[in-house]
Amino acid sequence: MPKLPKRVSTALLNALAAGVVPRVGLEQIAVGREAELQAVKQDLANIAAGGAAFRFVVGRYGAGKSFMLQLIRNAAMEAGFVVADADISPELRLAGSRQQAVATYRELLKNLATRTCPRGGAIALILEKWLSSILNQVAQTTDGRPGDSEFDQQVEASIRTVVSNLEGLVHGFDFANVIVAYWRGYREDDTAKKDAVLRWLRGEFASKVEARAALDVRAVVDDDTWYDYLKLLAKFAADIGYRGLIVILDEVVHLYKVSHSRSRQSNYDRLLAMFNDTIQGKADSLGFFIGGTPQFVEDERRGLYSDPAWRSRLERSRFLQNGLQDNTAPTIVLDPLSAAQITALLQQLAAIHRQHYGYAGGVGDREIQTFQQAVTSRLGADLLLTPREIVRDFISILNVLQQNPPLQFADLLNRIGLQYSTAAATATQADESDEFAEFTL
């Protein structure tokens, strides 16, 4: 495998050991998701051509949803998209009466990223880069310089040519005027005006009165309009040279957990409006990738299937039997990794660990096979074991062996094996000795 920078291997190993998805280096350990990634790449191509896409990425906890969404995020940035991501939580929703929806928008803007600014906070960089390109273009076609009235007028005319395409969209007129205000702050070196524009774009103004005083605009991002501004950002990004906007929302199972039925339904309705917009072609250069659990989608009492409109859109075709998949369907279901795919994943991890710490030998293919057999022999492993747990255990073993050179792999695995065997034996003994072991009042 190619030599990884220390910062990448550090992030990979630390994140995986903690059971979380790393932001970098995922391509080195991506196995078994080739068909899904190919479908996503087709979506990205469609979005880059001015279309839109909406996908659910569905899998149980630890099955690789967040990993897949992070792969999508990295692939989109590499392909030239602007990417925004957020995790839904009790405080971050799609609809609400206490600014939970606009809080989601703010989180997305905080995490706005591009290939040259992958860590988030890219909105200022996007505007600065675009203005610099316009200044260079005008400088090449005129003899003027920045600060000359004629030169500045041509720059503003070029800017208005771009933002005029936004004025036909909802709130597009105010959005266009705010972008022009940023140029004027840029030209006049007015930091306060530029900061006010960035605050407005990030949805940080509390009232329309405050926005009008600062920027002379009559609208602000709120719980009802935040999705309209995402569509404006997507169109704007495509018009200034990016390929579009990709929005990634993970942990939407928190919408399923909303106890108040009317509030939960309001969130489902907002999600449905977003779905319909993108699928019907009412949004340009915009893609959504939503991570959720099977329960969030299929529960007929509280999940999306409780809504007939959602069920009719997401229910699996009766023709998809015997392992057949339709990779153009709105839902990407993450099937469990096969034993061979898990073996390949563990081999990659062992190689990365060996390279990172600079030792020879270490855990080989035979030990990996023994480890797999040990972890999959646990009672209920076929239903409960996930790639996250396997990887976390494996990284822990590699760390312990590296930190304790006299310790042998077989000795360490025997200890783990005894623990697994003891748990299985205890469960089996309880099951055999008491026919009512699983009965509770």
DSSP per-residue string spanning 305-374: GGSHHHHHHHSPPTT--TT---TTSSEEE-PPPPHHHHHHHHHHHHHHHHHHHT-SS-S-HHHHHHHHHH
Structure confidence by residue, pLDDT tens digits, 347-356:
999 999 999 9
Q: Is residue 437 part of a domain?
A: no
Mode of pairing for the β-strands spanning 245-250 and 52-58: unpaired
Average pLDDT for 348-367: 92
391's tokens? 């990887």
pLDDT tier at 169 (50, 70, 90 boundaries)?
very high
The pLDDT value recorded for residue 215 is 96
> Does one domain contain both 269 and 382?
no
What is the number of structural domains in the chain? 2
User: How many CB atoms are closer than 10 A to CB 123?
Assistant: 20
Taking every pair of Cα atoms in the chain, the longest distance, rounded to a whole number of angstroms, is: 93
- Using CA atoms, how far apart are residues 53 and 164, in angstroms rounded to an integer? 25
Q: Looking at 318, 336, 354, which one is the last position of a domain? A: 336
> Does one domain contain both 68 and 97?
yes
Q: Looking at 306, 336, 366, which one is the last position of a domain? A: 336
Classify residue 113 by its DSSP letter. B
> Does one domain contain both 332 and 347?
no
Average pLDDT for 130-149: 86
Phi, psi of 198 (to 5 degrees): -65, -40
The pLDDT value recorded for residue 380 is 56
Report the chain's mean pLDDT, rounded to a whole number. 89
> Does one domain contain both 217 and 130?
yes
Which structural domain range is residue 368 located in?
Answer: 339-430
> Does one domain contain both 107 and 182?
yes
Asked if pLDDT for residue 439 goes beyond 80, the answer is no
- Using CA atoms, how far apart are residues 101 and 386, in angstroms rounded to an integer? 32
pLDDT tier at 181 (50, 70, 90 boundaries)?
very high
> How much is the pTM?
0.88
Q: Is residue 39 part of a domain?
A: yes
> Does one domain contain both 285 and 392?
no
The pLDDT value recorded for residue 436 is 35
Q: Looking at 336, 355, 378, which one is the last position of a domain? A: 336
Amino acid at 283: A
CB 346 within 8 A of CB 394: yes
User: How many CB atoms are closer than 10 A to CB 233?
Assistant: 26
